[in-house]
Structure 1
Amino acid sequence: MTLDAIDTALIDILREDARISINALADRANISRSNAYARLHRLTEAGVIRGFTVRTDPIREGYHTSAYVALSIDQSEWKPIRQRLTALPEVRHIALVGGEFDVLTLVRARDNQDLRRVVLQEMQAIPGVRSSRTFLVFEDLDTPTPSPRLASTSASGSP
């Protein structure tokens, strides 16, 4: 699916506020309400928009320790490992990566003791996980994710 400038604008507006009304979305994108609704439906049906979610502050939610945990795994065990990792509520993101490690996960834990339990008792116990390396997160920053098209136009100084 090819996105045009209006589709990109709608996505960027929704990234800022996924709870925006369809009327406000249409106004901000300078299109009709029916056009906004039709495009939103098309983007969702095509899988460009996979869903709408809530972003929380992990500290205020009670998760005072965060870490990226890199795993070395037996490649043939990826699917069962992925299933086991997704079942752990503390694992918030999983990526199969290339490089020194095979899998990179973001873990949110209540405290250091909870993180230790997740890494050493839960993750290390998964068959096919050979080793892990933990990188503590000292500060989380959410960065805006502008569309590549809009990022390149703002960088060039064009509107």
Structure 2
Amino acid sequence: MSRDLDDVDRAILVALRRDARASINEVAREAAVSRANAYGRIKRMTDAGVIVGYRVQTDPVSEGFHSSAYVALWVDQVQWQEIRASLLDMPEVEHVALVGGEFDVLVLVRALDNRDLRRIVLERIQSLSGVNTTRTFLVFEDHPSGATPTR
């Protein structure tokens, strides 16, 4: 489907990424098409799996998560699916990616504070069967795409 997207489809996606709660009229205006055209294109992209959902983006610090880190994992590849499922079951884990390169998996962890982060990494993640080694990269600032820094 992605090679079938035209400039109008891409403009619609930009508008929805900026504000998934935007009215169909606002999206249509930004994409310079009629309301019916925008609605039809959104439905087509949803049916084709280009649009897979809508979500709320929050400020982790305002939620009480004062410590964040990317945790790199070296894992036994044959246990990847079980490791992924376990990581996704952890409420502190925001994102999991299987990657190529120096390590195998990259995980974004949100924690209440550094003590909580230590517990999550050392007691929860490192204890998973198939996780051989981890390396933790503290996040000093993060700026989600589409968000404007407030501090």
For the aligned pair, the TM-score class normalised by the smaller chain equals: over 0.9
Q: Which residue of 2 aligns with 1:83?
A: 85
Note if 1:33 corresponds to 2:27. Answer: no
Q: Which residue of 1 aligns with 2:131?
A: 129
Distance in structure 1 (CA, Å) of the matches to 2:18 and 2:72: 30
Q: Which residue of 2 aligns with 1:138?
A: 140
Equivalent position to 1:95, from 94, 97, 101: 97
**1:81-123, CA deviations, whole angstroms, 9 ceiling, x for partnerless residues?**
0000000011101111111211000000000111011101100
Q: Which residue of 2 aligns with 1:59?
A: 61
Using the TM superposition, give the Cα deviation of residue 25 of structure 1 relative to its aligned residue in structure 2, in angstroms.
1.2
**1:2-44, CA deviations, whole angstroms, 9 ceiling, x for partnerless residues?**
1001000000011111111111211221111111111000111
Number of matched pairs = 145
Equivalent position to 1:117, from 105, 116, 119: 119
Which residue identity does 1:74 align to in structure 2? D
Distance in structure 1 (CA, Å) of the matches to 2:18 and 2:143: 15
Q: Larger deviation: 67-76 or 29-38?
A: 29-38
Other structure's SS at 1:54 match: coil
Which residue identity does 1:49 align to in structure 2? I
Using the TM superposition, give the Cα deviation of residue 144 of structure 1 relative to its aligned residue in structure 2, in angstroms.
3.8
Flag structure 2 segments of 5+ consecutive residues without an equivalent.
none
Flag structure 1 segments of 5+ consecutive residues without an equivalent.
146-159
**1:30-80, CA deviations, whole angstroms, 9 ceiling, x for partnerless residues?**
111111111000111111111111110000010000000000100110010
Distance in structure 2 (CA, Å) of the matches to 1:66 and 1:119: 11
Q: Which residue of 2 aligns with 1:11?
A: 13
Distance in structure 2 (CA, Å) of the matches to 1:127 and 1:120: 13
CA RMSD of aligned residues (A): 1.2
